[in-house]
Structure 1
C-alpha cells in the first residue's frame, strides 16, 4: 500500500495516471475509520481505476480546541483496515504544514446561505474550514469523483455548492448513512463513547423514525416539539437542535409543500460528546 505524507510526492505519482486518463476516485476523511468510511471506499474502488483516501484531522474546521485535541488519531489502525479491504488504495496522510504551509487559517466562502443553517449556526467558521480543506485536497488529488457520507448531509450539500461556484471538475457523490446494529449513525466520535452511552444512543435513531411518522400528518413545528419533549425524558442527553429543513436549500420548513423533499437534522450531546444524525422525512 502506497502512503504519501507530502502533496508533492502524491502529485508526482498521480500526474502520469491523470495523463493516461485513469479515473481517480477520492475519499477525504479525518481517519478513525469505520464501516461508513469503508462503504465510501468500496464505491470508489468499484467506479474508478484509482482510489485515493486522505487521512487528515483538519484544524480549521474545529471551533472547539478540546474537540480537536480529543479527536481520535489512529493512522496505523486505519492503514491496516484499508489493507484488509484492498491493498491498492493510495493513502495521503499529510502533516498540517504540508497542507497549510505555515498559514493555518481558513479562506472565506459563500455557499448561498447553506452555511448559515444548523451546523453553521452552532459551529461558527466550521464550513469555511471545510471548504478550505476540501478545495485544497481537490487541487492536490485532482479526482474525477469524490465520495461523502450523508450523515454529514449539510456538508455534502455545501461541497456540491463549492464545486459548482468554483468550477471544480469533480463529481460529488453522496452515499447512504451506515449505522451500527442498534441504529446509531457510524461516526469516528462514537469511539469516545462509553459502552453504556453507545447503547443508550440508539434512542437517537428511534426518535428520528418516530418523528418521520409524525411529520406525515403533522406540521414541522409539531414534529419538532415532539422530538424536544422525547429527549427531555432522557436526562443523559442534551439536545442542541432538531430542525426540519428543505433538502435543497437547508432552510427551515414553515409549511409543507408536496413537491419538496424534507429532512430532519439533529445534534445532541451525551457524555459531553457531540453526535449528529439526519433522516429523510418524505
Structure 2
C-alpha cells in the first residue's frame, strides 16, 4: 500500500490508476480503524476498484474542542490494517493541506433538512463540517464510488443529498453496520468505555430492537419511545435522542410508513454512542 500526504501525490496515483482502466473506490475515515472500516475497504475491493482510503481527523466537524483533542490518532496501526486488507492507497493529509487558508476562511457546504435534528441537533455545525470535508475529498480523489457505513445513518443521508443536489458524479454505497457478537455497533468511540461500561453497552442496540418490535406491532410511537427512553436510562445510559424517522428522507415517521429507521444516541460514561435499526413492514397482498 502506498501512503501519500499531499493532494498532488494523491492525484498522480489516482490518475495513473484511471489511465490503466481502473474504477476508483473511496473510503473516507478519521482513523482509529476497526473491522467496520475494513468491511468498507473489502466492499470496494469486491467491486474491483482501485481502493483509496483517507485518514483525516476533521476539526470542522467537532463542536467540542476537548472531543477533538482526545480523538485517537493511530496512523501506524491504521496503515497496517489497511495494508493487510489490500487497500491500494492511503491519503493522510494534515490540517494545513486540507485547509491551507485556515478554517475560518473555508467555504462551507450546508445540506439542509436531512442535517437537522438527531446528531445535527445535538452537535451544532457537525454536518456542515462533514459535508464540507467530504466534498473536498471527493474533489481531491475524484472517486467513481464512495463507501459509507450505515451506523452513521444520518451522515449517509446528508452525503447522498449533497451528491444529488450538487450533481457530483459519485455513486454512494452504504454498507451494513458491523457489530460485535453481543450486538454493539463497532465504533472508534467504543475505546472510551471501561470494562463495566462495555458490559452495559449492548443495551443500546437491545433498546432499538424493542422499539422496532413495538412499531411492527402497531404500538403508539410516542408511548413506545417514552418507555424505551426509560428503559435505556435503567440500563445505565443518558439518552441524547431516541427517534423513529422515515428511512427515505428522515422525516418524522408515522404508523402508516412502510420503511422506517429507529435512531439513537446516548452517553455511557464519557462515550457518546450512536446506533440505528432499519425496519421494513411486510405489505399484505391486496
Q: Shorter-chain-normalised TM-score: which range?
A: over 0.9
Determine the structure 1 residue equivalent to 2:283: none
Determine the structure 2 residue equivalent to 1:233: 234
Q: Following TM superposition, where does structure 1 have runs of at least 4 consecutive aligned residues deviating by more than 3 angstroms?
A: 105-110
Written as runs of structure 1 = structure 2, the 5 A alignment for 1:246-265 is: 246-253=246-253, 255-258=254-257, 260-265=258-263
How far apart, in 1, do the equivalents of 2:126 and 2:167 lie?
22
2:272 to 263, 271, 274: 274
Written as runs of structure 1 = structure 2, the 5 A alignment for 1:117-136 is: 117-136=117-136
How far apart, in 2, do the equivalents of 1:76 and 1:212 lie?
40
Partner of 2:266: helix, strand, or coil? strand
Instruction: Report if the CA contact (8 A) 2:26-2:53 is conserved.
Output: yes
Question: Over aligned residues, Cα RMSD in angstroms?
Answer: 1.4
How far apart, in 2, do the equivalents of 1:34 and 1:101 lie?
30
Alignment deviations for residues 125-161 of structure 1 (CA, whole Å, 9 cap, x no partner): 1111001100000001010000000000000011011
Determine the structure 2 residue equivalent to 1:101: 100
By how many angstroms is 1:100 displaced?
Answer: 0.8
1:107–1:265 CA distance, 2 compared to 1 (3 A): farther
Instruction: Report if the CA contact (8 A) 1:107-1:129 is conserved.
Output: no
By how many angstroms is 1:102 displaced?
Answer: 3.2
Instruction: Report if the CA contact (8 A) 1:117-1:251 is conserved.
Output: no
Determine the structure 1 residue equivalent to 2:200: 200
1:278–1:261 CA distance, 2 compared to 1 (3 A): same
Instruction: Report if the CA contact (8 A) 1:31-1:57 is conserved.
Output: yes
Number of equivalent positions: 278
Partner of 1:278: helix, strand, or coil? strand
Written as runs of structure 1 = structure 2, the 5 A alignment for 1:56-67 is: 56-67=56-67
Partner of 1:136: helix, strand, or coil? helix
TM-score w.r.t. the length of structure 2 is 0.93
Determine the structure 2 residue equivalent to 1:165: 165
How far apart, in 2, do the equivalents of 1:85 and 1:110 lie?
34
By how many angstroms is 1:83 displaced?
Answer: 1.9
How far apart, in 2, do the equivalents of 1:169 and 1:150 lie?
21
Alignment deviations for residues 15-67 of structure 1 (CA, whole Å, 9 cap, x no partner): 13223442000000000110100110000011033000001100000111111
How far apart, in 2, do the equivalents of 1:239 and 1:228 lie?
7
Instruction: Report if the CA contact (8 A) 2:215-2:255 is conserved.
Output: no
Alignment deviations for residues 192-215 of structure 1 (CA, whole Å, 9 cap, x no partner): 211221121011111111111111
Determine the structure 2 residue equivalent to 1:185: 185
How far apart, in 1, do the equivalents of 2:17 and 2:279 lie?
42
How far apart, in 2, do the equivalents of 1:49 and 1:240 lie?
38
List runs of 5+ in structure 1 lacking aligned partners.
Answer: none
Partner of 1:115: helix, strand, or coil? coil
